[in-house]
Structure 1
């Protein structure tokens, strides 16, 4: 039986940054940077924070560091906004252990993508999430991230899993607008099941179509912009949406494509935060931060973005 059958996650919409993990080395948190980052996004008006997702380099972190990050984040947030904790792992045992730490330290919900080694079928996904959900002390968000997991959580599977008490929504980072619209259609009669979209480039459109909001990486850097875009989309202010969406696309085009790495987006977010003096840009192995020439491009891009946002 699920340990906590009463969901304590009450956000119905907004912007939840998938926070980067500030680090000093491969197994040491940048605690001062973590505090500055958390205060930066909360001061920017975000509606929650999400740690240990893709943007948080979760698969590259030690279990020790994951538990420490969870504890420190909840301590620094101190109840100001809900904290979501990513518990994606190839081991259900490790996922449950991290979920327990999340519960013990005051997090509001967990987020789990499918295990990312074996490509699970849809029936196997239902079995996996049903079993995981029963073991968790917190509500659970599904996490659709097929580019990294090799598995799509099909809309019919989402609908089946939504019948389980404790599974309260999904974060979709597929960047597949057709998939997301099918998801909205499939779940149209379950308003209590929240649909979050990951890619910021389609956030405004998704919100206007029925998404709860965005879990957008750029909100680490310029949270007020993403909150304003969400609010404009929610209210149907198309003129404002166009203006702010163009600014979000400027961030995407100028920061996330430097160097043409598979990790350019993540390097760009971390480097921009470092340029702004918020936190360290160290990246967990096997990834590495930008070289000086690339960082110089980030400096120019950040200054340009700041002038546009001013």
Structure 2
């Protein structure tokens, strides 16, 4: 039975960074770095933090580390902003265990992508999320991430799942604007169900079309910029949107394209945070952080971005 589907926080809009996971080695958190990172994004005006997503390397972390990160993050945030905890797993049992830890630690909501490995049908997605939702102690955001899960949560499926008590929104990281606009159209009669976009390159566009806000990796590094861009888009200040969007694209073009890696985005974010002295850039196996020459490129890019955004 569901223990509690109420939240004390308003998830209607804003910027919620998908936090990186600061680490010292494959099974140890960089606790000092985690504290600095949380202080950094809160000072930047974000509306919440999301841990254990793609940017948080969730699939590469041990269960022990996931639970520890959840507890430490909630402790460090100390109720100042919402904490969203990713519980995506191939085992529903492990998802529920982590959800219970999140509840006990003081998190505000949970986020779950479809279980990866098997490509689930829409009917199987309905069955899975209905089963999962019944076991959760906190509100749930759906997470559409087809590049990693091989499954798209179709708009009609989202509409069906939104009828479940406690399913309160969706984060879309498909980078598919057609899909997202169809989703906005499908859900337009449900203002209490919030829609969030992951790729920062289309965040302003999505907010202008009705999205609730962004869950953008670059907000780990320059949170004030993403908050300002969201506010400009929300208010319809197109001149300011164009200016700030150009700055976000500069970050994307200069930090997320270094090296020929599928993980260049994540390596770039972590390296930039390391250059800024916020946290370690260690990455959990099978990923590895940039070497010296690539990190030198990151350092130059960070200085250039800082000079451009002021």
Is the TM-score greater than 0.5? yes
Cα deviations across residues 199-240 of structure 1 (Å, max 9, x unaligned)? 000000000100000000000000000000000000000000
Q: Match of 2:171, SS?
A: strand
Structure 1 equivalent of residue 104 of structure 2: 104
- Contact 1:7–1:166 (8 Å) recurs in 2: no
1:8–1:109 CA contact under 8 A, matched in 2: no
Distance 1:186 1:143 in 2: 17
Task: Name the CA distance, whole Å, in 2 between partners of 1:80 and 1:5.
Answer: 20
1:143 alignment partner, SS class: strand
The separation in 2 between residues aligned to 1:117 and 1:246, in whole angstroms, is 37
Q: Give the 5 Å matches for 1:8-47.
A: 8-47=8-47
1:4 paired residue number: 4
Aligned to 2:60: 60
Q: Pairwise mapping of residues 12-161 of structure 1 onto structure 2 (< 5 A)?
A: 12-161=12-161
| Helix, strand or coil at the partner of 1:277 | coil
Q: Deviations over 1:260-280 (max 9, x none)?
A: 200000000000000000000
Task: Give the match for residue 289 of structure 2.
Answer: 289
CA-to-aligned-CA distance 1:230-256 (integer Å, 9 cap, x gap): 000000000000000000000000000
Pairwise CA distance, 1:7: 3.8
Contact 1:273/1:279 (8 A) holds in 2: yes
Q: CA deviation at 1:14?
A: 0.1
Corresponding residue of 2:280: 280
Residue 11 of structure 1: how far off its partner (Å)? 2.1
Deviation of residue 135 (structure 1)? 0.1
Total equivalences in the alignment: 310
The equivalent of 2:301 in structure 1 is: 301
Please give the per-residue CA displacement for 1:148-197, whole angstroms capped at 9, x wherever unaligned. Answer: 00000000000000000000000000000000000000000000000000
Aligned to 1:181: 181
TM-score (norm 2): 0.99
Q: Which residue of 2 aligns with 1:259?
A: 259
Q: Secondary structure at the match of 1:260?
A: coil
Is the Cα–Cα contact under 8 Å of residues 9 and 139 in structure 1 kept in the other structure? no
Residues in 2 aligned to 1:203 and 1:285: alpha-carbon distance in whole angstroms: 30
How far apart, CA to CA, are the structure 2 residues paired with 1:31 and 1:212?
Answer: 31
1:170 correspondence with 2:170: yes
Q: Contact (CA 8 Å) 1:14, 1:212: kept in 2 or not?
A: yes
Give SS of 1:102's match.
helix
Partner of 2:271: 271
Q: CA deviation at 1:2?
A: 1.4
Residues 67 and 98, structure 1, Cα contact 8 Å, conserved in 2? yes
Q: CA deviation at 1:110?
A: 0.2
Distance 1:297 1:156 in 2: 44
Find the aligned partners of 1:6 and 1:65 in 2 and give their Cα distance: 27
Which blocks of at least 5 consecutive residues in structure 1 are unaligned?
none
Deviates more, 1:132-141 or 1:9-18: 9-18
Structure 2 runs not aligned, ≥5 long: none
1:71 alignment partner, SS class: helix
What is the CA distance between 1:9 and its match in structure 2? 3.9
Q: Which whole-Å CA distance do the structure 2 matches of 1:269 and 1:140 have between them?
A: 27
Does structure 2 conserve the Cα–Cα contact (< 8 Å) formed by 1:8 and 1:139?
A: no
Deviation of the 1:10 alpha carbon: 1.7
